[in-house]
Amino acid sequence: MSLFTPDAGLLFWMVLIFGIVFFILAKFGFPIITDMVDKRNSRIRDSLREAGEIEAEMADALKKRQEIVEQARKEQSDILKDAAEAKKNIIDQARVQAEDEARKIVEEARTRIAVEKEMAMRDIRRQTAMLSVSIAEKLLRSKLSSEDFQLEYLERLADEAAGNEADKS
């Protein structure tokens, strides 16, 4: 027997065994294999569909993340603007308050200066009056030491008093 040119009997048995094996595989093996391939195909399709859904969800999540980041940036900008405005308002209020305090201090100083000036003027008047009285007293003492001047002075005072009474009537 030659391997390259088989006999008709060998060829018959080979075809018969091949047919039996093919029939058994077609009856029992191929349906299992095709079911497994179909299941695998459906799993692959499901996985691809889920991957597409996950990819869409990821795109949505990325878009939401970008929106949240933009919103956070906007809020940060708003907060910074509000803080700058609050700072400006606080500075303005402090400036106004300082100006009011300075105005009050200047007004109090002016009042104190006016009071001190008035007190000094009173003191000067009092001292001037006391000095004038003292000078007048010394003059009158020196002049009133003579009796002739005393009599003349009393007559003048009496005339002035009489003149005042005449004016009143």
pTM score above 0.75: no
Q: What is the mean pLDDT of residues 59-84?
A: 94
Which two three-digit tokens encode residue 154? 């009393």
pLDDT tens by residue, 1-41: 566 777 888 889 999 999 999 999 999 988 999 999 999 99
Cα-flanking dihedrals φ and ψ of residue 67, to 5°?
A: -65, -45
Look at residue 132 and give its three-state secondary structure: helix
